[in-house]
Amino acid sequence: MQKLEIAPTRTTLGINFDPNEHLLEFYGNSYPTNPVTFFQPLMNWVEKYLLFYPSEKTKLLFRMDYFNTSSSTFIFKILAMFDVHHQKFGKVELIFECSDKDDDVIDSWKSLLEDLNLPCKIKIQE
């Protein structure tokens, strides 16, 4: 399985999905004009990753400054895939990093996780 790298833009996340390191990194801002076009390839990659590496411990790292409602829908779908994986194997590490000035982003992140059983560490950068 190949690594997936996407450079961030003003409106879309940077992506670093490395199957060899079992790391999926999302960083930057997310308010794409067409969220389906941006997120569908990510969801497809995740589906394949979970098939190829079902028992590997995977680290999901989100370093996000802002994400809109449509982005949160797709982020939730990706997290839900890992939630199922975590229930079966218990091998998901989820980390959310943001600045200490981002109370709204932290609240949005927490509400995104309410219906999931993924353990999450929130790291606040000063």
Q: What is the pLDDT of residues 1-13, one digit of tens each?
A: 999 999 999 999 9
DSSP string over 30-66? E--SSHHHHHHHHHHHHHHHHHH-TTS-EEEEEEEEE
* Interaxial angle between packed helices 103-113 and 69-89, expressed in degrees from 0 to 180 and rounded to the nearest 10: 50
The rounded percent of the chain whose pLDDT value lies above 90 is 73
Residue 100 has pLDDT above 70, yes or no: no
Across 31-47, b (16+ Cβ under 10 Å) vs e yields ebeebeebbeebeebbe
Q: What is the pLDDT of residues 26-83, one digit of tens each?
A: 999 999 999 999 999 999 999 999 999 888 899 999 998 889 999 999 999 999 999 9
- The Cβ of residue 78 has, within 10 Å, a number of other Cβ atoms equal to 18
- Please tell me the pTM assigned to this model: 0.92
pLDDT number for residue 56: 85
Dist CA 35 CA 2 (whole Å)? 23
